[in-house]
Amino acid sequence: MSSATSSTHPDPHSRLHLAVALDGTGWHPASWREPVARPDELFTAGYWADQVAEAERGLLDFVTIEDGLGPQSSHPLEPDDRTDQVRGRLDAVLVASRVAPLTRHIGLVPTVVATHTEPFHISKAIATLDYVSTGRAGLRVRITARPDEADHFGRRRIDRIEAYDSPDAQGLLTDLFDEAADYVEVVRGLWDSWEDDAEIRDRATGRFVDRDKLHYIDFEGRFFSVKGPSITPRPPQGQPLVSALAHDTVPYRLLARGTDVGYVTPRDAAHARAIVAEIRAEQQSAGRAGETLHVFGDLLVFLDDSQGEAEARRARLDALAGEPYTGDAPIFTGTAEQLADLLEELAGAGLTGFRLRPAVAGHDLPRISRDLVPELQRRGRFRTAYEADTLRGLLGLARPANRYAAAAATAV
């Protein structure tokens, strides 16, 4: 893959990439109690269409849509019995497919849990989303170590993690991320299992498909054995966007091995620089040093006209929740101008973009699209119009050659 954006030394003054992470009524657990939250519409297509339309109004690169295989919980590894927070989700891939025809430019990146879903099914679903959206699909792959989610499927047992730093926990997490890396490899192979010109559609000869251009991927690994080919022709982008969230060395290897965009959670610019350096080293070890791998910083944002207003709103929501919200990503509380300053500082440490998590979707998403984006545009750091027809194009990623067609050309 080639790109105007260097994978190793991004220009600190180049344009930034922006995405938003959509999760229910917002990332703060008390967000549903805000007047703008619309919790009664949360399970309607119109609600999600409005969220994505707002992000597209701000010319953002893409939205991610959260998903999981168990009810949301205030505990990362087990269910809780709280009734004062949003519980329940729509399927992220199906939401993206419903919203796709209502949008024109923005990328759609639903979350997929690799631990308990089959890569064959997901490759077909995301390829279909790429067709429905005419080249704007991606996926965010994640794992789960929750025993209750494993119990939904009954095919494997996952023991409860008592301490993340224990040898057993580290072994389990390493296996789950290795499985996710194989998952991505299978999905990518299936996307390539049809060459671009495999469909002939010749009425005169009665030939619809050139069978020689459909390929068995014959993947044999520790976690999967998948023959292929897919039943869905190669997607419009060739390879839809693959992304993942990572917090430490083991998931950084997943980013380096198989993704186009990695989301990380640096505390400050020095931490961001260290994370980027580690990911670039892992990328080189994975044999992908010449490919573009975007590293986005994740931030949860409270945006208001003044820092005092933002801090007061955060304090009010924390009081409603009964405890301060922390989460896995840094929390920004302030104005659009202050956030733009922070993004520029972090970009100088090697990040090429940002995935922002609106604390309250109905409040902070419009602040991103209508306040932050214009501020970045004034600084020359963000686009003023969409300049590509595909999600890969928006991110400066070339449409990759089909591996089987490329191999055949090399053999000639």
Residues 6+ apart with CB under 8 A from 166: none
- 117 marked ligand binding residue: no
Confidence grade of residue 166 (pLDDT, cut at 50, 70, 90): confident
Dihedral angle, C-alpha 114, 120, 124, 130, nearest 10 °: 50
Q: Is the pTM of this model over 0.85?
A: yes
pLDDT mean across residues, the chain: 94
Structure-token pair, residue 351: 């990040």
Lowest-confidence segment of 69-83, 137-151, 176-190, 289-303 by average pLDDT = 69-83
Token pair recorded at residue 402: 């089909």
Average pLDDT over residues 155-181: 89
- Any idea where the domains of the chain sit in the sequence? 17-143+240-411
DSSP 8-state assignment for residue 100: G
Give residue 13's pLDDT. Answer: 61
According to the model, what pLDDT value does residue 2 have? 34
Residues 6+ apart with CB under 8 A from 30: 84, 85, 317, 318, 320, 321, 325
Query: How confident is the model over 341-362, as a mean pLDDT?
Result: 98
Q: Is 212 left (phi over 0), alpha (psi -120 to 50) or beta?
A: alpha
Please determine, for residue 121, whether its predicted confidence score (pLDDT) is greater than 90. yes
How far is the C-alpha of 32 from the C-alpha of 47, rounded, in Å?
A: 13
260 Cβ contact list (under 8 Å, min separation 6): 138, 239, 241, 242, 243, 292, 293, 294, 392, 395, 397
Q: How confident is the model at residue 7 (pLDDT cuts 50, 70, 90)?
A: very low
Q: What is the DSSP string of 10-68?
A: --TTSPPEEEEEE-TT-SSTTGGGSTT--GGGTTSHHHHHHHHHHHHHTT-SEEEE---
pLDDT band at 287 (very low <50, low <70, confident <90, very high): very high
Helix (H) / strand (E) containing 261: strand 261-264
Q: What is the pLDDT of residue 77?
A: 82
**197 is annotated as contributing to ligand binding:** no
User: What pLDDT was estimated at residue 159?
Assistant: 86
Average pLDDT over residues 277-284: 97
Over range 115-143, report the average pLDDT: 97
83 to 48, 49, 80, 86, 317: CA distances (angstroms) = 23, 27, 9, 8, 16
Q: Mean pLDDT across the stretch 362-375?
A: 98
Alpha carbon 280 to its chain centroid, in Å, reads 19
Residue whose C-alpha is closest to residue 106's, from 49, 39, 147: 49
pLDDT attached to residue 11: 58
CATH number belonging to domain 17-143+240-411 = 3.20.20.30
Q: How confident is the model at residue 289 (pLDDT cuts 50, 70, 90)?
A: very high
- Report which of 201, 189, 202, 192 is spatially closest to residue 233, judged by C-alpha positions: 192
